[in-house]
Structures are given as C-alpha cells and as structure tokens.
Amino acid sequence: MAKEKSARQEKLFYERKNGYEIIDEKEKKAMEAYCRDYMRFLNGARTEREAVRDGIALAEKKGFKPYTAGMALKAGDKVYYSNRGKSLLLAVIGKQSLAEGATIAAAHVDSPRLDLKQVPVYEDNEICYFKTHYYGGIKKYQWLTIPLELHGVIVLKNGEKVEVCIGRDKSDPIFQISDLLPHLGREQMKKNANDFIKAEDMDLMVGTVPDKEDVKERVKLAVLDMLNQKYGIIEEDFLSAELCAVPANEVREVGFDRSLIAGYGHDDRVCAYAELAAILETEKPEKTAVCILADKEEIGSEGVSGMKSQAFERFMGDLCDGQNVKLAHCFANSFCVSADVTAAFDPIYADSYEKRNASFVNYGMGICKFTGHGGKYDSNDASAEVVSKLRTIFAANDVVWQLAELGKVDQGGGGTVAMYMAERDIDTIDAGVPVLSMHSPYETVAKFDCYMTFKGIKAVYADNK
C-alpha cells in the first residue's frame, strides 16, 4: 500500500489547508467580532451613497477629517474625501514621502440592483407600477417575487435633495415584481433563463387603491398624491431622481455552524468594509495608506464617481503637491490591492470551475493574478514580482490566502478596477473574498475569508518595503 503522502511530497507539493485547521480559538473570537461588525455595516448600507455615508461616520469616529485642498498634513494625519457622496477616498499620511509611493486598496461599493427609470410611474388594470432598468450583471429571474426596498435620492428643481429609504424599517412596506403561477406557466417554463422575464417587464407593484376623484388613472393619482404628501414631489421630479430597488432581506448567518453569511451586496462591500476596517486601525504607517471605495464598478468603472474618473488623480495630486512630489512619481512607486470578490468553487456547479485553480470557502483571501475573459482579455494580469510581494507580506503576517481563478478558461469571466489602477502606472493585484451565488439578491461568503481579507489588507497597509 502506497503511503498517503511522503515527506518529500510534503516538502515539494503545493497544498492548501482549510482555514479552520490553521486558526486558534483566540483568532476565531476575533473573526466572530469582526464579522458581527461587518454584518451590521452590510445590513445598513444598501447603495453606494449609504456605504459612503456610513463609511464617513465610522472614519470620523476614528479621527478622520474631511480633506480640503492645500490642507497642511503630517505623518499620522487621517483624512477623507467624499466624491459627490458616491465614492470615498481615505488616507493616513505615512512617515515616508509620497515620492516613495502609497499603499492603496481599492474596492467598490455599488452592487447589482434595479434602478428606477426616469419616467417610472404607470397604471395598468388598476395596479400602479414603477418601471425599472437593471444595473450590473443580474440573472433577471432571481428578482421576481422577492421583497424589495426603495433607496436613493430625489433632487428637486430648486436643488433640494430628498432622501428615500422605504423598506429598511420593519414597519415599512416593501415592493415586489410578480411572476406567473406554475399552473399557467407551461409556455413560460419552455423559455431559457435569459428570456424568462424581459427587462421591460421587471416592474415594481407600488399601489392598488384608486383615488376618490372620478378620473382615469385613479390608482396612479392616489400613489402620486401619497408621494406628494410624504416627500413634496410631483411626477416630474423623478426625472432628476436616482432611486433603486434593492433586496429587502436581512444579513444572516447560514448553516448549523453559522460559518457563512448571506446578504445583499457582499460584492463588493465585503472587501470595502475590510479595507475600511483596516485603514481605521492604521496608525502612522511607513507609506501613506489609501483606501478607495469606488462607485460604478459594476457597469465598467465609468462616470465621475467610477475608478476611471480623474477624481482620484485630484485627491492624490493634492496630497503630492503638499509634499512637493510629482504625482506620476508617487504612482510609479505605489502598490495597489484591487480588493474585489472572486467566485468561490461551488460543488453543485463544479463543471464551471477548474478545481486546481479555483478558490474555496474557508481557505482565506483569494489572490487573482488575472481576471478578464478568454485569452486574459481585459485583465490586469499582475506580474510575478507583484504576486511575490503579496505572498511575502501575507506569510509574515499569518494571513491565510489562496489562489483564485474565476472559473474555467472560456467559461465566462469578469473584471475589477485593477486595470484602471494599473493604467496609472501603479503595480496592482486583485485579491478578495470568494463568494457563492455572486450577483444574486442574496450572496454568501465565509466568515473566515472575510476576516482573512481584513487581515490581509491591514498587513499591506502596515508593510514598510
């Protein structure tokens, strides 16, 4: 009988271990405490604006001050910059000059959702609906018959901003998209998942009671009347509104052992929170630590609040100006972890993964040398030197990590902000939490991987090489 494993194999083979075989009781306690805080954050921040709002509140408690151009800063100073309330940049000034580069972690706080159209309200057969336009990559059928909340802002003609959040409070109503009963679903069930529900049919039911006035569209009138009384808005105000429907589920522990967390928007608030928690614990780092919570990643990092925006140059350029450093020199010496989620191996759908290179739940932070699709198109593809740097940092700080490739070659693919950081001449690598059911209304992550991602980013901020 051949041995299970020889000493030479033990020495030569690359082997990963389940995280629970590695960590001790003390660390498990720290993991649980960290995850409790993360769950609270995720439950409350359902849009990029809310994540920025809550991120600022947490940062201010830790002594971060709003950054203003030309502000005098010294090592250890903590500042933040809110880009239009939709993305957030935080920095802790390092002991070294910015000419030596900054240590950057970049995550995003937007998640797939259903945006309201600009003319959303209509009535059909005495039911009032809001029309939606999906945002990001979703499987449309997953959004039928689930409870949905409405979040966002309405900016009135006079510039006044009305904040909307309906459904988060237990006493609030929720909203819903209907589906056909199985009894009548014979034709529908023959369709493929993509055509199962048309995007134009993903309309939210928002009211059914007709107004007392004897006119056409009485239900729509009654709904608009209610909105007018509550928010002071008229139908035209939807034109300058940014409202979205997001899942109304609670963030919950999953399984008898409570080892997993289900919630809406782990992608990518799980990495955003890890960065945030890490920079909030960073005191007087060697190099300036920078935390990015970006918007618009799910639709290609476009727009003023996306990672392609020059807002990042402006913030970093200002910091560099304060030290008489050229921004380009700072970038060339900087190091960035593009902290975004990756696909955890799912045994139920094993065929879509390549097991030797996949990431697994409970195996730690997932490092992706490349993302993209096909022949590595649209990928950052970090150099071996950059991967090695991260390996070294993680080894020195007991960070449990694993390799993570997003599915089989030619199976599909995905992107992150990594390539937009690399375009700036910044050494960048993707690393983050493996997720099950990614982009669904109720995604799942392992507590262990959340905690290790926090530990990993903290170690990167503390690195002095």
Positions touching Mn ion (CB under 5 A) are 267-268, 340
Query: How many residues does this entry show for the chain?
Result: 465
User: To the nearest whole angstrom, how small is the minimum distance from the Cβ of residue 173 to Mn ion?
Assistant: 29
249 exposure class (CB count in 10 Å sphere: 0-12, 13-18, 19+): middle
Nearer to Mn ion, 303 or 322 (CB): 303
| Smallest separation, CB 298 to Mn ion (Å) | 5
For Mn ion, the closer CB: 128 or 341: 341
Taking the C-alpha atoms of residue 260 and residue 252, their distance in angstroms, rounded to an integer, is 8
Say if CB 253 and CB 445 are below 8 A apart. Answer: no
What residue is closest to Mn ion based on CB? 268
Q: Which is nearer to Mn ion, 73 or 457 (CB)?
A: 457
Helix axes 266-280, 447-462, angle to 10 degrees: 40
- 104 contact partners, CB below 8 Å, separation of at least 6: 290, 291, 292, 334, 335, 336, 337, 421, 426
Least separation in angstroms between residue 416's CB and Mn ion is: 6
| Identity of the residue, 224 or 261, whose beta carbon is nearer to Mn ion in the bound complex | 261
Q: Measured from the CB of residue 110, what is the shortest distance to Mn ion in angstroms? A: 9
Q: How far is the CB of 254 from Mn ion (least distance, A)?
A: 20
For residues 18 and 411, which CB has a smaller minimum distance to Mn ion in the complex? Answer: 411
Alpha carbon distances (Å) from 33 to 24, 133, 386: 15, 38, 31
C-alpha distances out from residue 274 to 166, 270, 306, 439, Å: 27, 6, 20, 19
Q: How far is the CB of 94 from Mn ion (least distance, A)?
A: 27
- Closer to Mn ion by CB, 94 or 263: give it: 263
- 454-464 in b/e burial notation, b at 16+ Cβ within 10 A? bbbbbbbbbbe
- The closest of 139, 73, 137 to 297, measured between CA atoms, is 137
Integer Rg of the chain from CA: 24
Contacts (Cβ under 8 Å, ≥6 apart) of 160: none
Least gap, CB of 138 to Mn ion (angstroms): 10
Q: Which residue lies nearer to Mn ion by CB, 73 or 433?
A: 433
